[in-house]
Structure formats: C-alpha cells, structure tokens
Structure 1
Amino acid sequence: MKEYRKYFPITAEPKDVYNALTNKFMIEIWTGETAEMEEVAGSEFSMWDGSICGKNIEFVKDQKIVQEWYFGEEESSVVTIKLHPNKGGTSMEVFQTNIPDEAYENIAEGWEDDYYVALNQLFEE
C-alpha cells in the first residue's frame, strides 16, 4: 500500500474552496458530473457520476475534510484535505493513505490532472 501527499495552490479563499468541496451543487459545477454530498459525518458521497464514492468521516468548517474512498467491495483509502490560507488564496493539502500499489499511478494522475485542474478552473474563470 502507498501514500500520496501534495499541496495544490488555489486562487480562492479557504471558505470558498471548502464550499466547492462540500456543496453538492458546486461539485456538480466544477466536475461537470452528478454528485451526492452532505456535509454530515457518516454520510455517503459520490462524485464524477460514481467514479469516486465513499463515506464522509469528518468536517472542520473551512479547514479540513476527511473521507473514506472505496476501491471495490473490500478495500478503501482515507483522504484528508486540509485548506491552508496563504498569500495567493489557499494551499490545498491532499493526503491519501492505503492506496493499492496497482492503483497509485492512476490515483496520482487523477488528483493532478482531473480533480485539481477542474477545481482550480472554477476559481480562475
């Protein structure tokens, strides 16, 4: 199993990034796909029309989101997103644990080429 950690710069305040990550309608805007999301610990979520799904574990308003992402029926990974204010807006820290070795490259590319790019474009327009 592997871990992934990266910091992504976003030109928006942490409260706006947090809203984009926790509000179902905002998620659908920046992903362009259907989503299910409630800002409630223990609730199930789904993004990119089911490509990413799991359970919400913890929310700290405008600061942190912890989720369990499912990889099939028996494997899961924990994703922690922390939002750090900085001069340019927000540094989004992504830390994902328990990534199956065979899924690591796909996960890393997904964070960098899909998740981050789509989210960042929301704030650049």
Structure 2
Amino acid sequence: MTIHQEITIPASPAAVFEVLTSSDKFAAMTGGRGADISSEEGGAFSMFGGDIKGRNVELVPGERVVQAWRSQAWPEGVYSMVSFALSKNGDGTRVVFDQSGYPEEAHDMLEGGWQMMYWGPMSEMLSGK
C-alpha cells in the first residue's frame, strides 16, 4: 500500500523545507510537541514527543526530503519511506508526498493524519493565520 498526496503550501520551498528539517520550527508547527531533527543526511530524528522516529535518507534544501519513518506503535524494525518533493507553484510550494512500506492496518490513520498533523498546521503556520 502507498499514500500519494499533492498539496500546495502558501510559502516558499525553502520555508517548507525548513519546517520539515528544523527541530524548533517543526515543534512550533505541532503546538510545541517535542522534536529533535538532525539537519544531516543519515541523521536521526524524533518528532511528536518521540511518537515518530527515523533517519534522514536524502536532504536537498528547498527540493526534497526523504526519510525512513516509523511510528512507535508499529512492530520493532518496521520503517516506511516518506518522500516530500518540493517545487515552486506561484506564490506557494507544491508538495508531492509519497509514503510506502507501512503496516496495512495503519493506512487509514496515516492517510488522514498527514492532512491533520502536517499540511493543515504547516499551511496555517506559514501563511501567518
């Protein structure tokens, strides 16, 4: 199973990239839930107070973030691959998001969770609303 979503965020690709890769900005987007995100390829991250952990696989500033990503609720050793492809779209950023390799029973929660936990809060934070 895979999840594919395409969203437009009202900010520059650099600003979207920064939220995805900055501990402070990510924590601000999530209402202060703890985040420790390495800015290096191969570096570890922990988000949402430790509920989500993984490693950065590829970081191309303003263009792409690829992560091996897992929920602490999943069986030990199970990681999914998430990819955020960023491109300028008018005054905003088009995000093409893909996720694969997650437990089948997590599909519905994940599919809705990206909008609720990422795209909505990120759009709100970066638009200044």
- TM-score w.r.t. length of structure 1: 0.94
Q: Shift of residue 94 of structure 1?
A: 0.8
Partner SS for 1:17: helix
Q: Shift of residue 75 of structure 1?
A: 1.1
CA distance in 2, matches of 1:40, 1:8: 25
Aligned to 1:86, which of 75, 84, 89? 89
Structure 1 residue 120 and structure 2 residue 123: aligned? yes
In structure 2, the partner of 1:36 is 36
Q: Shift of residue 74 of structure 1?
A: 2.3
CA shift digits 1:62-110 (9 cap, x unpaired)? 1000100123312110001011111131011110011221000010011
In structure 2, the partner of 1:47 is 47
Q: What root-mean-square deviation, in Å, do the aligned CA atoms of Structure 1 and Structure 2 show?
A: 1.1
| 4+ residue segments displaced more than 4 Å | none
Structure 2: segments with no counterpart, 5+ residues: none
Structure 1 residue 95 and structure 2 residue 98: aligned? yes
Aligned residues: 124
Structure 1 residue 14 and structure 2 residue 17: aligned? no
Structure 1: segments with no counterpart, 5+ residues: none
Q: Shift of residue 18 of structure 1?
A: 0.6
CA distance in 1, matches of 2:91, 2:101: 31
Aligned to 1:73, which of 72, 76, 79? 76
Q: Which range is displaced more, 68-77 or 12-21? A: 68-77
- TM-score w.r.t. length of structure 2: 0.91
CA distance in 1, matches of 2:23, 2:48: 11
In structure 2, the partner of 1:3 is 2
Percentage of matched positions with identical amino acids? 29
